[in-house]
Each structure stands twice: as C-alpha cells, then as structure tokens.
Amino acid sequence: MILRVRFIKRLFIIALALVFWAAITEVCPAATKAVKEPQLPYKAYIVVEANSGKVLYGENVDAKRPPASITKLMVACVVMEKLATGAVKLTDRLTVSKNASNIGGSQVYLSEGEKFSLEELMKAMMIHSANDAAYAISEHVAAVLIKWSNS
C-alpha cells in the first residue's frame, strides 16, 4: 500500500511538472508569446490651450502629415460664412459631378448626377469624413461665388 501511495505521489509530481512545462513551452503558445501592445489610432497629435497658444500635450507634432480632415473643416468654415451672408442655404440642391463621384479616399460613394441638399452633404462630410461630399460642396460654393462675382 505504501508503494502504491509513493507511486501515485510520483505520478502526481510528474503530471504537475508536465503541466508546468506545457505552460511555458510551445505546447501552450499563449504562455510563451509576448503580449502585443495595442496600436494607437493616431500617428501624431497636439493639444493647444486656445487662449495662450501654449502646447499642452503632443506626440510627433513636427512630423509631416497630409491635411486630412483639416480640409473638410475649412470647407465647413467657408460654408458657415456663406450661410451667414445668405449666399447659400442648407436647402440648396446640389448635383454630384463626375469629379466629385471619383474623388476616392474616405467617402459615402456618391454617384454622378445624384441630387442632395447642402445639409445632407454637410452631414456626410462632417460625420462620415466623406471626401466626395466635401468636393461636391466645394464645387457648389465655388459656383455660387463665381455667379455672385459676375453679377
């Protein structure tokens, strides 16, 4: 009986050793693989205090980056100015041009000839970051400005 207990103890120790070995080797890859750091959703950022212009936080602030959504914000700014002067209205109907429908990048897949209100395209541009909507809006505002300057 004592031999049997010793045998069971030895088997138990061997089994524990195997479990431990499996946890730290390729048999159990989750235990040996390094934990991958999560990828951050940005490549650069800057936080500036509005009144003083003091940089509060930032990373890669001097890195050259394409303007991306800054262009869309500028389009929105111009539209807001033109809304304030009455040059355009949110109810204006815009027809999507071939150029706007082929712009690429982030888009809502506008098709040539489709008609939308300025308000709908502004929402597409600001909420979905749609390049095609931004292009269509820019064409409309430019056409309004050209028409206004010629009159």
User: Environment class of residue 109 by beta-carbon count within 10 Å: exposed (0-12), middle (13-18) or buried (19+)?
Assistant: exposed
Do residues 134 and 97 make contact, with C-beta atoms less than 8 angstroms apart?
no
* Catalytic residue annotation: 69, 72, 129
Cα-to-chain-centroid distance, residue 80? 24
